Each structure stands twice: as structure tokens, then as C-alpha cells.
Structure 1
Amino acid sequence: MAITTMPLTFSPPRHLHHRQPKPQRPCPAARLAPLTRRRAAATWLRCAPDGEASSSPATAEQQPQQQEEEEFILLANNRSDFNEVIMVIDSPSNRYLVLDPSRNVHSILPKKSAWTNSYWDEFVSLPAVVPRGPVALLGLGAGTAAHLMLEVWPWIQLVGWEIDPMIIELSRDYFGMSNLEKTTELGGSLTVHIGDALSPSATIEGGFAGIVVDLFADGKVLPQLQEAKTWLEIAKKLMPDGRIMVNCGGADTAVSLAADTGVSSWVQNPTIKALCSAFPGQLNWKRLSEKESVNYVALTGPLPDLEEWSISVPSELSARVKQWVPCELA
């Protein structure tokens, strides 16, 4: 039977090995073959449909530099009406939620530190620049952002939307989401809604102090997020002085990293272009480093006082919040 080869996107890059997985839910038999993470953030997952692992050699271009070694175990392998592929993959350092045929990592649960060293960490800085109040997570996944935000801000009320009930079930089983749904000593918790995060009903009375948007399908930002009218509708769900923080994905064209660091490089990202059109003069952006996944993130509203913002967030984010700049049309 033919072997299929599919990409699995991780960040930051490492050199990965495997051992035989142990599926724990009814699913087609599958075993993980050797995985490699490259500087380009592509990891290749080779699954033989008959359960035999492929060990075909990578090309010279696919051979990574020897860095760290890690073993992966497949804990769950499912599908649903919303996702053709839903995998829970475990390693000594992290647990991953992997979705869709592109094998993109949609959530990470670190085991050795609360921080992911990726775009999820950026969301933790949002409560410091919005009014006190509930924060929405549009695109909850397995709750990576919720874990981080409740760790740093244990008083915060999070309200998350996830369209796929299978993901919520697996997240409660494997990613500790049930613990997030319990009220902390300071009154914080996560409320989970299963449904369309872009629906008009995905709101609360009085509005949100902040909204985190992290909506992807098939490895790409939802096309609706590349339209200004979508962002204007989302903004209606904010309370006065509320803000939206967005994972905008990468550039829409193949550009070198060296050429992608200028003050106007955001124009390569269609989501930021739509946001800038919706909120002229009221949008800020930054591009994460290659080590951190090369994603763009955006923040609505006037540029915060960066010094005050830096002081008000955990030390891990102090220098990073100073990297935000206004989104200015030429």
C-alpha cells in the first residue's frame, strides 16, 4: 500500500525522533515515522495506512541540522465533521493538538514551563492594556492561551468558542481543560462554548474587555478574517476601550526573512491589511522571530505606552511588548 507523506508544523524547530505510538481511541491504525523539524518550521509525518511506519530517507534539503532529540507518541487519532484529522501527540516536553491534513499544531501544552515560546505567549499581554472584564477566545483549540492567561492572571474570566465538539472532548481528556473550567481562588475561570466563533451570538451582555482571535482551517487563516467588514462586526462585541489581539499567520507570499523585517512588511499579510482598513490609525502589529514561528500578530486601538506595558507584564514578556509598532499606510 502506498505511503502518504504530510507536513506537521512545529515551532520552535527541533530534531525529532519517534517510538511506536499507542492509540487510545477508536481510529484507523497508524504509526509515526521519524519526524524532522527544520528552520522553515516544517515537520514531516509519514503514516502508512496499513499501520506500517515509513522510514524512507529524506532528501538532502529535508535533512535538518542536529539539534535536540525527542520522542513522540500518538495518544489519539480521530476525525470529525469539522476536521478530517485530529491527533493528540505526546513528547517529554510538550503535548500537541494537530489538526487537518496540513498537520498543523493548533495547541501546545508545555510540561516543563508555562510558556510556549510561540505566538500564544503574546496573548498573555492583552489583559494589561484593556479594562478589567471578561476576555473572549475566538478559536479555543485545546486551550493553550487559556492555560497561560489563567496562570498569569488568575482572576480573569475567559469565554472561549470552539466549533468542533470533538476537540473540546479531547482537550478535557488530554489537555486539562476541565481544570480551567473550575473557578480559581481569585475568581478566574474558562467558560467553554461549542459553536461558530464568528456568529453574532458569540458575545456577552456588556461586551468583552478584550478579544483574542486565533481562527484557522486547513493551515490558513479563515478567509472571512481577510475582510474588513468581519473585523467591524467583531469590534461591536467590545466594551468601551476594549481591544482585539489577533494571530494573523504568516506572509501571503514567499519572501526572505531578511526582507520581511521592515516597518511596512505587514503589507505581506492579508489579515493585517484587512484590520488596518477596518481600524485606520488604530492598529498595531509585530512579527515574531523565526525562532518563535514567524507569525504576525496585531492589536487594535492606539499604541499603548510601551514602558508601562512592559512593567505590567511578566518578565518573559517585558522586552517583547516593546516590539509593537503602529500599522501605518504609506
Structure 2
Amino acid sequence: MRGCCVLPFSFPHIAIGVSHSHSFTIHTPTSKSILSSIHNHPFSPTSLHAQQQQQPHHHQEEDEESFQILTSVKTDYNHIMIVDTPKSTMLLLDSSHNVHSILYKDKKWTNSYWDEFSSLPAIVPKGPIAILGLGGGTAAHLMLELWPALQLEGWEIDDILIDKARDYFGLSDLEKTNEDGGILNVHIGDAFIPSDDLHRRYAGIVVDLFSDGKVLPQLQEVSTWLELHDRLMANGRFMVNCGGIDGVDGSTDPKKLSNDEAWLLNAAIKALLKAFPGQLSWKRMPKETGQNFMALTGPLPDLKSWSANVPSPLSTGVMDWKPCEIVSGI
């Protein structure tokens, strides 16, 4: 699967009571526990009925949070599951049931890496911005709220996923030109296929491509980034969700790395640095939001100026970007 985003969670195991309608009540206020419950249940009528007989229902209304499976379908690329709770709608993909998109019902902010992409328009030229890995459109929602005149182009390989995102994540609303001229144009297809029409087209490109909870292997290849770079206009930038720690080989001893060298534990960032030497910055999200590595191409921006041109909490978060440098002589 290509074209979705992953927020890795570690889910505790809990038992729940279930019903044939795929509507559930659990006695915990956290979405992590909801996802733990889903992770431990195959959703067939037989298994649901058996689980209902095995698990007693509890009645602690002050603690309970209900959720419902809105749809569950397998496609050529994904196992799509969309979960609705009183506070949010979540897109789960693959057997891991990682969260690939989330839409809160009272806000666009997610307090996670999706928000980071909305800082990109402040440091790129005027022009369209592409999102490779649109998923349910989490990043697009906030980007168009903060930058209502933005021209977004979202790429997603799974047409059924796009249909579901239109039904349950308000994607179709973003595909209509708003009063400021902003819009999301959706492209269904393989984002890696070369096209002359894309030459120097984008001011910025957001890259958020995963499969089975891991960054696509193509993003660990220098050649991929050099080919995608052809789509950026002069002074354009990539902003990339690089996932977590991976690709560690015998030449990299994590114990010998300084805090400023943690990026060496991520294969996608290492490939990006080879493609754009001296032109790569990085940051790592906090532990409570998944510890994803983020990468930004081009010269390190003036952080104070960048901070002044984006709203809080982005104004604080952009100050964490730093250049990829090896300082310990590894």
C-alpha cells in the first residue's frame, strides 16, 4: 500500500463486550484502548457473537466511551477500517491497525506529526503543494484551514480509500473551491510514476508514504528522491514523515550517538542526506506522539522568522528543526 500515514501506538490489551452491529462500549476514555480492542478482534459475525457471550457487559457510565466500526473492507492495497467515536473518526489500515488518518469533530489540530506539514507553506515559494500519501486527508484539512488560498494536490493509490475518505472524512468538502480560492485536487495513482506534466510543478511536497506500518522502501533509495526532486520548482522543499528507528546496521552503534545524531537511526533520512548533502534538516516528535522522525530539504530556514509566520503550537515546534550533522566522528 502507498499513500497513507502512520502514527505508531503501543496498545494495552483489554477485554470488551461486542454486538452484531459492530457498535461497542468500552470502559476507558482513551483512543489507544479503543484501538487495542479493535486490534484484538477479527470482525466476523461468528467471532463477534462468541466474544459477546464470553465477555460480560459493564455499566460504569462515567468511564465508558463508545465506538462504532463504520466500514471494514479489503482492497487491492489495504484492509480499510474506519472507526467512529464521540470525539473523532479514525482510519485504520493493515493488520497492525495503525492509525493512518484522524479527524476530530471539534477541531482540525491533531497534536501529532500531521500538524507539522501545515508549517511548510510559510517557507516555500507561492505555488501548489503536493501531498504524496493523502490517506483520509488529515493533513489537508488543517493546511487549508490555516492557509485557505492554498492549492493542494493529493496523491493516493487506492481509489476505494479515497471513496471512503469522501464519505467519512469530509474529503469531498476540500475538493470544492473555497471562498479564498483554496482547493484540494485528488490524483488516484502511483505517486512514483514519472510524468512530464509534473516537471517543476510544486512549491513543496509533503511525503507520507507507508505500508504495513513502515516507510516505503523506495524512500530509502537515493534515486527516488532525485527523481521526485524534478517536481519541485526553484527553492521548493520536501517535508517528510520518515517514521521511526529502522535501517540500523553494524556501522551505526546507537550508544555512541549524541542526541543530535539520532537521525542516523532512520534509513529514509540517511537516503535524503545522500541525495541532498548539506541541505537537510530534521526533528523528532515527542514520545507521546509517536517519536516519528521528520525531514526537511533545503537550507535550514530562519527559525525565528518561520516561527513568527505560523500559529501556535507550530510556532514553538518549528524551533526544534536542526541540520543533519555528524558530530561524534562515527
TM-score, normalised relative to structure 1: 0.83
| Residue-by-residue CA offset, 1:214-254 (whole Å, 9 max, x unaligned) | 00011110000001111111111000000000000001179
What SS is found at the alignment partner of 1:184?
coil
- Distance in structure 2 (CA, Å) of the matches to 1:289 and 1:214: 18
Size of the aligned set, in residue pairs, is 304
Q: Point out where structure 2 has 5 or more consecutive residues left out of the alignment.
A: 1-5, 56-62, 249-253
Letter in 1 for 2:36: T
- Distance in structure 2 (CA, Å) of the matches to 1:235 and 1:312: 26
The alpha-carbon deviation at position 54 of structure 1 amounts to 4.1
Native 8 Å contact 1:126 1:245 kept in 2: yes
Native 8 Å contact 1:12 1:41 kept in 2: no
What SS is found at the alignment partner of 2:144?
helix
Q: Point out where structure 1 has 5 or more consecutive residues left out of the alignment.
A: 1-7, 24-29, 58-67
- CA RMSD in angstroms comes to 3.3
* Structure ranking higher in helix proportion: 2
Alignment of 1:20-99 (within 5 A): 20=18, 43=36, 45-48=39-42, 49=44, 50-52=46-48, 54=51, 70-83=65-78, 85-99=79-93
Native 8 Å contact 1:131 1:209 kept in 2: yes
**Residue 274 in 1 paired to residue 274 in 2?**
no
Compared with structure 1, are the counterparts of its residues 237 and 133 closer, same or farther at alpha carbon in structure 2 (3 Å cutoff)? Answer: same
Match of 2:158 in 1: 164
Letter in 2 for 1:109: L
Match for 1:129 among 123, 127, 133?
A: 123
Match for 2:213 among 212, 219, 227?
A: 219
Native 8 Å contact 2:199 2:232 kept in 1: no
- Distance in structure 2 (CA, Å) of the matches to 1:47 and 1:41: 11
Native 8 Å contact 1:285 1:325 kept in 2: yes
Native 8 Å contact 1:244 1:300 kept in 2: yes
Compared with structure 1, are the counterparts of its residues 325 and 143 closer, same or farther at alpha carbon in structure 2 (3 Å cutoff)? Answer: same
Match of 1:302 in 2: 299
Match of 1:64 in 2: none
**Residue 290 in 1 paired to residue 273 in 2?**
no
Native 8 Å contact 2:151 2:184 kept in 1: yes
The alpha-carbon deviation at position 308 of structure 1 amounts to 0.2
Identity of aligned residues (%): 52
What SS is found at the alignment partner of 1:209?
strand
Mean CA deviation greater in 38-47 or 219-228: 38-47
- Distance in structure 2 (CA, Å) of the matches to 1:270 and 1:197: 20
Native 8 Å contact 2:82 2:92 kept in 1: yes
| Residue-by-residue CA offset, 1:153-180 (whole Å, 9 max, x unaligned) | 0000000110000100000000000000
Alignment of 1:90-129 (within 5 A): 90-129=84-123
Compared with structure 1, are the counterparts of its residues 241 and 69 closer, same or farther at alpha carbon in structure 2 (3 Å cutoff)? Answer: farther
- Distance in structure 1 (CA, Å) of the matches to 2:155 and 2:138: 13
**Residue 263 in 1 paired to residue 260 in 2?**
yes
Native 8 Å contact 2:220 2:267 kept in 1: yes
- Distance in structure 1 (CA, Å) of the matches to 2:191 and 2:77: 14
Compared with structure 1, are the counterparts of its residues 73 and 203 closer, same or farther at alpha carbon in structure 2 (3 Å cutoff)? Answer: farther
Compared with structure 1, are the counterparts of its residues 169 and 38 closer, same or farther at alpha carbon in structure 2 (3 Å cutoff)? Answer: closer
Native 8 Å contact 2:247 2:265 kept in 1: yes
The alpha-carbon deviation at position 70 of structure 1 amounts to 3.3
Match of 1:195 in 2: 189
Native 8 Å contact 2:153 2:184 kept in 1: yes
